[in-house]
Amino acid sequence: MPRSPSGVHVTGWGAYAPSLKLTNAHLEQMVDTNDEWIVTRTGIRERRIAGPDETTASMAAVAGLRAIATAGLQPDDIDLIIVGTLTPDYPMPSTAALVKGAIGNKRAAAFDLGAACSGFIYGYATAHAYVAAGMAKNVLVIGAETLSRATDFTDRGTCLLFGDAAGAVVLSASDEPGGTMGIEMTTEPSGAYLIWLPAGGAARPSCDATLEAREHYMKMKGSETFKMAVRTLGSTSQASLAKAGLELEDIDLVVPHQANIRIIEGLAKSLGFPMERVFVNVDCYGNTSAASVPLALSEAVASGRVKQGDKLLLVAFGSGLTSGAITFEWTADPANAARADGIGPESVKIAPGYLEPVNPFPPALEWVRSGAASPAAAQPPTRRESHNA
Ligand code: UT7
């Protein structure tokens, strides 16, 4: 086994969000809600929705290719691909296997990781362990979700929260100073059914009865999840900092899971940390689950909020209830992001094409995609489009 490196560094980063926007004004026409309530209670103004030809794997592959390019690597330099997701393209094969094919990697091991919205943080921790043990030199860690396919657009308690996206980092072995400093992960099964997706697994295989009961969509007890989230995000952050041997004032930027602005503010308040040093983009994307932290991290770097030598704290919580936090020193040159210019959806090769006539796009959003002024003004969906209405 090769010698273990002294450091595990973020060397590459990248993200991808689909172009179609679902705004609060759209939601006002679909469920009993309004822009003012959504903005005040969640901070969300719009989310992105994957098009009919986009899947978790295709979005993950774009974010992954961007992260590999930013790291100055080629796809075949990657030894391991980990995809954190609760919306894999299929129960099997893994989305990670599809990503491997899509980015043209010939040699990596690849697997999915199920920790819901903490999936990216758990993936980072797993990748760190592989690199620190000398079992991998470069690991591609992706968080990617197509939550719009698991969202009930008749349920105002959930449909305003979620969106689609992907984000990625490359973790690399290095003998340079800096890199990962403290990792904490927790799981509290007492909250397992506060946010969950009842049907489609082995305990409740999908059937007419589960479809009728809309159990193929996410269910959530919002306010209980909220309280548990603020508590665990705070304690997990503190534990990660303690393992890093740092104090909160040493942290330059906190990049939290973007679930709700009030949860993020609650975290900052409980830690006594200023909001000016917390990165927020929940207004533009909503909650993208495992994609949330790496998408926010990429945007934080792109917007000049991260410089070499900064200490960062990434923290998330999700179904399980899982929670995880990473404290690390950023060592890469933010300008390396320019290496990913020109990489987009056309750069990846995903074309299963054998699933006709299933259209994965949510029928409830066809009117948004068509550019119609209201659901009533849109063409009625064809039979092909109404499979999961
Ligand atoms: O990655 C983890 C995923 N989950 C989360 O992060 C969710 C955490 N929870 C939340 O973000 C919040 O609990 C929600 C945004 C889901 C709900 O906000 P809340 O402040 O907890 O509202 P609530 O459920 O306590 O409802 C307050 C009021 C109720 O009316 P009454 O009973 O006070 O008259 C609701 O019926 O707001 C009403 N309400 C709405 N009104 C307009 C609930 N949903 C809506 C809505 N639009 N969409």
Q: Looking at residue 233, which CATH number applies to its domain?
A: 3.40.47.10
Task: Look up the domain containing 49 and give its range.
Answer: 8-333
Across the range 227-250, mean pLDDT stands at 97
Strand partners, 138: 172
User: Which residues are the active-site residues?
Assistant: 117, 257, 287
Across residues 67-93, what is the average pLDDT? 97
Question: How confident is the prediction for the chain on average, in pLDDT?
Answer: 94
- As for how many domains the chain has, the answer is 1
79 belongs to a structural domain: yes
Question: What's the CA gap between 23 and 345, in Å, rounded?
Answer: 23
Cβ proximity of 44 and 282 under 8 Å = yes
List the helix and strand counts (H, then E) for the chain: 11, 13
Give the model's pLDDT for residue 358: 82
Helix (H), strand (E) at residue 7 = strand 7-16
Residue 346 covered by a domain: no
Any atom of ligand 1 within 6 Å of the Cβ of 81: no
Residue with the nearest Cα to atom 41 of ligand 1? 33
37 lines ligand 1 (CB under 6 A): yes
| Ligand 1 centroid distance, CA of 223 (Å) | 7
Q: Left if phi > 0, otherwise alpha if psi is -120 to 50, otherwise beta: which for 319?
A: beta
Using N-to-C axis directions, what is the helix angle for 292-302 and 119-132, rounded to 10°?
A: 80
Residue 166 covered by a domain: yes
Share of the chain above pLDDT 90, in %: 91
Whether 229 lines ligand 1, by a CB cut-off of 6 Å, is yes
Instruction: Report yes or no: 331 and 308 within 8 Å, Cβ to Cβ.
Output: yes
**CB of 221 closer than 6 angstroms to any ligand 1 atom:** no
Q: Does residue 351 fall inside a structural domain?
A: no
Q: How far is the CA of 158 from the centre of ligand 1 (A)?
A: 8
**Per mean pLDDT, which range of 165-174, 186-195, 355-364 is the poorest?**
355-364
Cα–ligand 1 centroid distance for 33 (angstroms): 10
Neighbours of 2 (CB within 10 A): 10
Instruction: Output the CA angle 233-235-236, nearest 5 degrees.
Output: 65
Cα 27 to ligand 1 centre (Å) = 15
Q: What is the DSSP string of 68-95?
A: HHHTT--GGG--EEEEE-SS-SSSSS-H
Cα Rg of the chain, angstroms: 20
pLDDT tens digits for 336-370? Answer: 999 999 999 999 987 665 667 788 999 999 999 99
For the record, the structure tokens of 219 come out as 């269910």
On whether residue 370 sits in a domain, the answer given is: no
Give the distance from CA 95 to its chain's centroid: 14
169 within some domain = yes
Best residue among 36, 260, 263 to mutate for probing ligand 1, ranked by most atoms within 8 Å of CB: 260
Q: Is residue 339 part of a domain?
A: no
Residue with tokens 């945007």: 299
Question: Is ligand 1 within 6 A of the CB of residue 60?
Answer: no
